[in-house]
Amino acid sequence: MSDPRDPAPKNPGTKKPGLAMWLPLGLFAAFFVLVIWGLVRPANREVESAFIGKPLPAFDLPPASDDRPGLNTTVFSGKPRLLNVFASWCVPCAVESPQLAALAQQGVEIDGVAIRDRKDDVARFLAQNGNPFARIGKDDLSKVQLAIGSSGVPETFVIDGKGVIRYQHIGDIRPEDVPLILRKLAEAGS
Amino acid sequence: MSAIKPKHQRLVLLVVALAVLIGAGLLAAYALSTQASYFYVPSDLVAKPPEQGRAVRLGGMVERGSIKTMPDGVTINFMVGDGKARVPVRFRGITPELFVEGSGVVAEGRMEGPTFVADNLLAKHDEKYVPREMKDMSKAQAKAVIAETK
Amino acid sequence: MIAEIGLAVLWMAAALAALQLIAGIIALRPKGAQLGTLVRPVAVMQGVLVALAFAALVTLFLTTDLSVKLVADNSHSAKPFIFKLAGTWGNHEGSMLMWVTIMAVAGGIVALVEKRLREDTLIATLAGQAFVSLGFYAFLLLASNPFERLPEPAPEGAGLNPLLQDVGLAFHPPTLYVGYVGLSIAFSFAVGALVTRDVGPAFARAMRPWVLGAWIFLTLGITAGSYWAYYTLGWGGWWFWDPVENASLMPWLAATALLHSCSVLASRNALRAWTVMLGVVAFSMSMVGTFLVRSGILTSVHAFAVDPERGSFILALLAIYIGGALTLFGLRASTVTEGARFSFVSREAALVFNNVMLCGILGIVLLGTLYPLLTEAMGVKVSVGPPYFNPVSAIFAIPMMLVMAVGPLLRWRQDKAGRITWPVAIPALISAAVLLGIVLLAPRVSLLSALGLAIAPGLALASMMPLRGRKLRRTPLATWGMVVAHVGIAVALFGMASESAFSTEKLAAMNPGDSQQVGPWRVTLQGIAPVAGQNWTALDATVAASYDGGEPTMLHPQARTFANPPGNRTESALKTRWNGQLYTVLGEEGEDGRWQMRFWWKPFVPMIWYGGALIALGGLLALLGRVSSEVRRLVATGKIAYRRERQGR
């Protein structure tokens, strides 16, 4: 049952095809190399990692809403906190609001930085999507945003009790990202 | 019209298949080099403008306060900048929901005179909060864009 | 409890898959033949167990068991039944379980019913199938357990996303999945046949129903996906050559080629190595497509959940399966004996031509899809769109369709061109006349559209020619299937060409009461009013559209705003007539209070999807024909065996 019934034919016609039969494998190998490169390509990752482990620069931002104080560097002592960079004009920021609310409900303290925003827009945004923030700073020139290595909204930073950036999450926080952020907070607290 | 010599049939088939596939490859390579649309940021577009009418894409920030609607109500003009340079863009159509002043956009279209005429505006809907091409803008560029669009 | 049973059963199924692989390998060695008897029952058991595991997950979703993490994350007790059901596979873990389920159940069916294939080839096939499944089992059990419990049951599920509650979205991905998995069976057959060097008609006949089945699902998936994009994106286009779309088109192209070379191998015992190669390529394209979509390596206009890590996993599987299979092919293919020969003018030659052309298109689509990645490696960013794909694929598609019209009329092995002069001449004359008419009457129609419009009627007629002189009721179902599918191609082609040649568009800012002329339609914006739905509010435009001065119909395009999660979506409104579709979109309100409105009149555009449906129907007829003749044969041999047994006594 196991012996091949067809003996390998030895006719002259098969000599050249023999090599060509390896062509598909060669093409596949080329494809493979290309996508491996595509997967490991640095993209934006250096920028985001460059700031991890660095202390927050000193800043003092005025309040961006009437019912929350502004934000300055001194609050980042004691417990690890989240720093959420957002804007009222950014749709993914609204999408992530349930996740921020969930984090706040679990006792995580979240501070916000509103980028290039107007006070009444922020107020409307918070009224619509909930306000998980303890403090909200108004960053009109994106100074703080750039100083902490954030290039878009939303982004969320884990800051430990000594004011050091421990983790940077780029893009909106999805429900599946919440455990990771909680873990990073726990790591930052230990 | 006659049967191929038996011994060579496989070889002939193989050669035909290879020839067609190599032909397809060459054709594709040629067409790609002429038809692929290149991605420009405004400063590149100003420094080395593509030939008029060639399909390209332009990515940058929509400058604040620059969106003007024309009297027909469906054509808009706005400026796309990257801090170093700014390009006037004209678009006729319904803008995507994420298209707002001060945020990133990728416009597909072509240069007509000094104006970039866009057929399509992409403001991405997926979790990439800015178009991927924009992520590679240098920090300095991003800084300048933000300073400018303020 | 159900979750624990599901997990336990899944582990057992994985263990059986391992046993199936090991027993298969040993059985193929000279001394291990007696283990071969184990392989079939194990494959059947594996199928049964994994089906039970899938049923367990479905039950958890239907009862909304919120102590299970997957259910809590993706479902909600207030969801409609149909979306609870679809929730089972509407997430990563569930879709992986669905993938192994279909795979194992199909393997079980092969083990049960396949009697014609040489036993050692069948064992090698089932071992190959087990090998492929094991990768997915490993991923499922080690990295994405669908039955994971939460430490404490969630108070309510998190999956009430209204944007995802769409019937198209619920059934479109699994349709494509079934197609992909079906091709994995073809892949296993190809590997099995390579291992035992048993590439012959029996192998092709055993593989064919699976290829056909997969192909039907792929056809339906692509057709539905195209209509869905046309309807929901609100851009008026039906195909964007987007990576996500290409990812589903490439396996279809490979499967189409495989289907045809399979029939050459089954009936004429030719194209042996080629068929095996296509079997490997078709499944590779499914995996490549899944990888490209899931890894987020290419940017797409369609929102899609991407995850680079899962992408890497699929890539690793891709490397093992496809790299392994192609290595085996390189080692074995030149030892596969050459099949039967044929002349240049024969049905085989026509099918070879079409196969090569399909592979040409496949190569072009693949290159175009990967090109942005390639240039990015060199630091240049490009995107590739219709200006590349349309003309370049047409260079191959047009000759292919011409040969497609002639091929079914030719005899196997050897034919004389003169014999089919008349059946070919009539459609050719029709096409030529249409082409001439277009050139004279509508000179502004582009070359490609004109060719499409001209070829379509000729192709449709030529495709029906194989039925001439036959008694229609006694024509085999498989022949009917071919005719219907080929006519479907012509119908779809006509729709595509007509859409691109004759679409008219009107974009305007309108006050209530304003009218516009779009092709033969007079459209009047009567008013805009807010309306509210279950979880959205919308601005709803009332548009009165009258065709050629006739009685007006009311259309209601909307701009919807969803509350949770927040987002906007345009809802286009369509009016379909026998000769085309009116497409209306509501845009934004301008500063002066006028509303942006966009209208398209697209003559014969629905024929694109009718054609797609016909193609799938053709596949279904062919499949029914094959399966019923197989069943008849089984019954007949059973009867003979029974009679012999009785006579023996």
What confidence tens digit (pLDDT) does each residue in B36-57 have? 888 888 888 888 888 888 889 8
The CB density around residue C18, as the number of other CB atoms within 10 Å, is 17
Q: Do C487 and C463 fall into the same domain?
A: yes
Residue C216 domain-assigned? yes
The CB density around residue B92, as the number of other CB atoms within 10 Å, is 13
Please report residues of B whose CB lies closer than 8 A to that of C274: 13, 17
CB C262 within 8 A of CB C207: yes
**B contact set with A (CB within 8 A):** 7-8, 10-11, 14, 18, 97-98, 100, 102-104, 127-130, 132, 135-137, 139, 142-143, 146-147, 149-150
Please report residues of B whose CB lies closer than 8 A to that of C308: none
d(CA C398, CA C375): 29
C165, C199, C219 - which closes a domain: C165
C-alpha angle C156-C162-C167 in degrees, rounded to nearest 5: 115
The neighbouring-strand residues paired with C501 are none
Instruction: Return the percentage of chain C with pLDDT > 90, whole number.
Output: 53
Q: What is the pLDDT of residue C185?
A: 93
B5 close to C (CB below 8 A):
no
Mean pLDDT of B74-96: 87
The CB density around residue C455, as the number of other CB atoms within 10 Å, is 27
Q: Do C102 and C67 fall into the same domain?
A: yes
E strand spans, C338-426:
382-383
Q: Do C141 and C49 fall into the same domain?
A: yes
d(CA C174, CA C176): 5
Q: Do C9 and C119 fall into the same domain?
A: yes
CB A4 within 8 A of CB C196: yes
What are the tens digits of pLDDT across the range C352-401? 999 999 999 999 999 999 998 888 777 777 888 888 999 999 999 999 99
CB C84 within 8 A of CB C75: yes
CB C347 within 8 A of CB C407: yes
Nearest to B24 by CA among A128, C358, C640: C358
Please report residues of C whose CB lies closer than 8 A to that of B118: none
Among partner residues C343, C380, C594, which is closest to B73 by beta-carbon distance?
C594
Q: How far is C243 from chain B (nearest CA, A)?
A: 14
Range of the domain at C429: 416-502+607-638
d(CA C571, CA C560): 7
Q: Residues 60..89 of A with a Cβ closer than 8 Å to B: which?
A: 89
Q: Residues 98..157 of A with a Cβ closer than 8 Å to B: which?
A: 116, 140-142, 145-146, 151-154
Instruction: Return the percentage of chain C with pLDDT > 70, whole number.
Output: 96
Q: Do C482 and C511 fall into the same domain?
A: no
The CB density around residue C316, as the number of other CB atoms within 10 Å, is 13
Q: Give the CATH number, domain containing residue C281.
A: 1.20.120
A13 close to C (CB below 8 A):
yes
Better pLDDT: C644 or C508: C508
Phi, psi at residue C453, to the nearest 5°?
Answer: -65, -35
Q: Is the pLDDT of residue C326 over 60?
A: yes
CB contact under 8 A, A43 and B136: yes
Q: What is the pLDDT of residue B9?
A: 72
Better pLDDT: C169 or A33: A33
Query: What's the token pair of residue C61?
Result: 């979703």
Q: By CA distance, what is C354's nearest residue in B?
A: B17
Please report residues of C whose CB lies closer than 8 A to that of B126: 300, 303-304, 306
Question: Given the DSSP bridges, would you call strands A155-159 and A133-139 parallel, antiparallel or unpaired?
Answer: unpaired
List b or e across C155-184, with b for residues whose CB sees 16 or more CB atoms inside 10 angstroms. eebbbbbbeebeeeebbbbbbbbbbbbbbb
Please report residues of C whose CB lies closer than 8 A to that of B122: 301
pLDDT tier at C210 (50, 70, 90 boundaries)? very high
So where are chain A's domains? 45-189
Q: What is the pLDDT of residue C563?
A: 65
CB C272 within 8 A of CB C339: yes
d(CA C298, CA C543): 39
Tell me, letter by letter, the H, E, C secondary structure of C371-404. Answer: HHHHHHHCCCCEECCHHHHHHHHHHHHHHHHHHH
CB contact under 8 A, C594 and B32: no
Q: How far is C160 from chain B (nearest CA, A)?
A: 19
The H or E element that residue C504 is part of is strand C504-510
Q: By CA distance, what is C376's nearest residue in A?
A: A38
Residue C593 domain-assigned? yes
**CATH code for the domain defined by A45-189:** 3.40.30.10
Q: How many domains does chain C have?
A: 4
Residue C544 domain-assigned? yes
What are the tens digits of pLDDT across the range C535-594? 678 889 999 999 998 899 999 999 887 765 566 778 889 999 999 999 999 988 887 888
Chains contacting A (3 or more CB pairs within 8 Å): B, C
CB B68 within 8 A of CB C407: no
Q: Do C331 and C211 fall into the same domain?
A: yes
Going from the C-alpha of C283 to that of each of A144, B87, C191, C215, C333, the distances in angstroms are: 50, 46, 11, 12, 18
Among partner residues B129, B130, B139, which is closest to A172 by beta-carbon distance?
B129
Using CA of residue C154, residue C155, residue C161, residue C167, what is the dihedral sign?
positive
Please report residues of B whose CB lies closer than 8 A to that of A23: 18
CATH superfamily entry for domain B38-149: Nucleic acid-binding proteins (2.40.50.140)
Chains contacting C (3 or more CB pairs within 8 Å): A, B
- C395 alpha-carbon distance from chain centroid: 23
Phi, psi at residue A157, to the nearest 5°?
Answer: -115, 140
Q: Is the pLDDT of residue C323 over 70?
A: yes
What are the tens digits of pLDDT across the range C334-353? 777 777 778 888 888 899 99
What are the tens digits of pLDDT across the range A49-96? 456 777 888 888 888 888 888 888 888 888 888 999 888 877 678 778
The amino acid occupying position C111 is: A
